[in-house]
Each structure stands twice: as structure tokens, then as C-alpha cells.
Structure 1
């Protein structure tokens, strides 16, 4: 069966990315230039670029252009006290975080249940974006009891990690009670914040933090760009509590 023009364009660009002829972070020529280079129409060029974006090889930024994906693949090791910052630093990747929104809300049922609170109890809701070498890799929405951590939002905005904030409130150590991981398509806003194609999947990780007495102190949902992370699970010792972390 004859190959369609867009498939030929896709494969040639993919080969150039693999060989390094198109380096990570490089901007592709404009659409008219690509049409001229491949003697093809706009539809074929756009379909090829869309296919490579879904595969995670290209990143299309509205108003800026199309770039070769430069995000590092994070090997996120799940262990009893593993933190986002530690995971990245151990791989020579620079971690960073940005506060997107924060407010105080009445806890919806799922949040209240996870934190063992009456429904409607005031909780912090903080949304942050995690970056690896400046590239977005995750979005996280975390909930913490307002009564336990009244200054949580202010301290997070100032750059303090969750671990440091817990310590400042007398919680020297904490564990992960539960973890759930599943895949889905991102919302339009999630794809925009992660700078990925909306047809590319994300991995959703929900977790609950507990102190050493078992009291829930935090509940969060992290949305990871699926092509930028892989999770490695260590086999836990008996009664150990393990989960990935997004928000340190």
C-alpha cells in the first residue's frame, strides 16, 4: 500500500529528531517552509506535526511555533519518603515549582473522606506546576486542613516545601497512606499548562499524606505528562506505606 504524504513527512522529521539533526529545543521551520521543502500541502504538514506531537516528539506552542521536545524523561522512584525534589536532583535534573492558584474552600466529600474531616470543613486548595530543567512535567492540586496549617498557602508561595512546612508545624516526618494511578486524556487547560498536545495522555496520581500516628495531613492529585515520566516501584517492607510525591 502506498504511503500517504503526511506519513512520509512524519517519518523523515522523526528520523531527523532521532539522529540529532533536529536537536532538543530546536524550532521547526514555518509551515510554508515545510510545505516547500516536502512539496506538500498544508494539510499533510499539519497532520504530520500533529502525529509527532501526540507521540511526544514535538511541542506546539500557540503563537510561538513548533519545537522539538526537550523535556527529560524522569525516572520517578517510589519509596517510603521519596520527594519530587530529591527524585529530580538525584538524576541531575533541576526541579522547580510554580504556584498557579490557591484558595480556602469547604472540603468536598472525597477530600473530606481522605482527610478524615467532616464534609465542608475549611481546607487549603493549592494548584502548582512542577518543572524539570524548566520544562513542565506535572500539575498538582493539594488539599490540607486549614486548622492544622493556616499559613500553608503563604509559605508555599514563598517557596517553602511541603516537608519544611510540615516540620514548622511540629510534624518531623510523614508517610504515604495510599496511592492511585490511572491514565486519561488531559483537559484543554491541563494540556496548555503542561505544554503538550491535547491528545497525549496524562498519568493521574492521587495520594494521602499521614503523620507517624496515622493522622491524614494532606491529600493531592497530580497530573503528569505521561511521556516525561516513568514510575519505578520498590517492593515495600511489611507495613510500609509508599506513594509518589509531586509537590515538594
Structure 2
């Protein structure tokens, strides 16, 4: 007979608070009741309450600011599959929101040494550097820093032509189809990534450091896209085969 796992008091608190968060009793951004209030409500010790809150944090439902309180995390604006190769704009549209792009830079320059190494290109390679904020219904969900080899672009290319989705420009203006992405994923905390009037709010990110290729394995772009923690949710399907 298989052994059964006994449910703890902390498990009961997690189930109750999780249900209340899902039902909107504690809406996104709201502060949860204090430890003392939860101890009194559930008739348990502070250690039990702390264990329950930690579990809610691990589940991505709350975040704790020491000395301030525990708050319900905002629901992600966009959901996407990490294993899927596609346009961020398409993912935003699939989430029922309107994508937008705010460009801060479109500059032609030579690659830096670390960029040349990552892209496996000669050190004198000219690239188009892009810096943009990607929005969903007007709310920023990511900051992207992109490099596109100049050789892919038309001879009389005007950087101002590129004002929306990079993938859409590849597909509809250049007839190029990105089909392969080789990515590294990192968690990043920095006050130097975001820009704009609300930049101070954005310090935690999931970085997708990615090289994009077409079917002939031609390099199309090198992108470092910083997805704002909590605004963009990735899913990954894993199997044992």
C-alpha cells in the first residue's frame, strides 16, 4: 500500500489563501493580512504562517518586502511557451492585448568585441542596434536590445523604417523567416535596464539572451530581451523522452 502524505496546517492556509487570491478577495497589488492577523485567524503559530507565506511566494502568488508586508503579485500580462520560436508581438496578441513598440535607438555601428564573440562574426561587422520598450495595452512588459547584421538590410536602408515588430519587418519587408533561436536564460536585478517615466518600478527581469537564425542557419539577429518579472509568464513543457 502506498504511503499517504499527511496535510499540514500550513497546507490548509496555503489552500485557503490561494483560493481567496484566485477569487479576487486579495486582488493584485493588495497587501495580505499581517502575520499576527493570520495567526489569529487560523489559530496557528508564526512559524506555520511563515511557512505558508513562503509556499505562496514559491508558487509565484505573493512577494514579501521585509519590514513592509506581503503583497499579491500582479497577474502576468502575457503568457508564452519558452520552447516556442515566435514574435513577442504575436504572443501579446494571443493573450488578448494590443502590442506596441517604443524605440529609443536605431543606430548603425560596428559590433563590440563581446558582441562579435557571441554572434560569431568578424570584429568589423556593422550592425543595426535597436533599443525598444515592448508594451501590451500600453503597459511595458519588456525592454529589448537587438543587433541586426547590416548585410541583411537594403542598401538604402533608413533606420526609421523599423518602427514595430522586428519579426514582422523580417517577414513582410525582407522576406526572411526566423526559424531557430538559441537562447540563454538569466534572472537579472538591475536599475540600469529600464528607461522611460516608469523605469524606477522595473528592477527585476527574466533575460532571454538569444541568437536568431533562418532555415539556412544564417544569423538574423542577436537579442537581449529583459522581460519584466511578473508581467510576462513563460511556460516550458518538459518530458522524459
* TM-based fold match above 0.5: yes
Greater RCO between the two (CA within 8 Å, min separation 6)?
1
- Secondary structure at 1:97 match in 2: strand
Deviation of 1:224 after TM superposition, in Å, equals 1.2
Q: Show the counterpart of 1:149.
A: 153
Q: Show the counterpart of 2:34.
A: none
Q: Show the counterpart of 1:209.
A: 212
Q: Show the counterpart of 1:169.
A: 174
Greater CA deviation, 113-122 or 200-209? 113-122
Task: Tell me how far apart the structure 2 counterparts of residues 56 and 149 of structure 1 sit (CA, whole Å).
Answer: 45
| Contact 1:75 1:230 (C-alpha < 8 Å) held by counterparts | yes
Q: Show the counterpart of 2:107.
A: 103
Task: Tell me how far apart the structure 2 counterparts of residues 106 and 133 of structure 1 sit (CA, whole Å).
Answer: 35
- In the superposition, relative to structure 1, how do residues 212 and 51 fare at CA in structure 2: closer, same or farther (>3 Å)? farther
Deviations 1:154-182 (A, max 9, x none): 2222x3x32332233242x2223311111
| TM-score normalised by structure 1 residue count | 0.61
| TM-score normalised by structure 2 residue count | 0.63
Task: Tell me how far apart the structure 1 counterparts of residues 98 and 136 of structure 2 sit (CA, whole Å).
Answer: 6
Deviation of 1:74 after TM superposition, in Å, equals 2.0
Task: Tell me how far apart the structure 2 counterparts of residues 25 and 178 of structure 1 sit (CA, whole Å).
Answer: 35
Q: Tell whether 2:233 aligns with 1:230.
A: yes
- Secondary structure at 1:81 match in 2: coil
- Secondary structure at 1:190 match in 2: coil
Structure 1: runs of 5 or more not aligned: 1-17, 27-47, 58-68, 239-248
- Secondary structure at 1:147 match in 2: helix
Which residue among 74, 99, 117 is the counterpart of 2:78? Answer: 74
Alignment RMSD, CA only?
Answer: 3.7
Q: Show the counterpart of 1:183.
A: 187
| Contact 1:139 1:194 (C-alpha < 8 Å) held by counterparts | no
* Larger of the two Rg values belongs to structure: 2
| Contact 1:72 1:132 (C-alpha < 8 Å) held by counterparts | no
Structure 2: runs of 5 or more not aligned: 1-20, 31-64
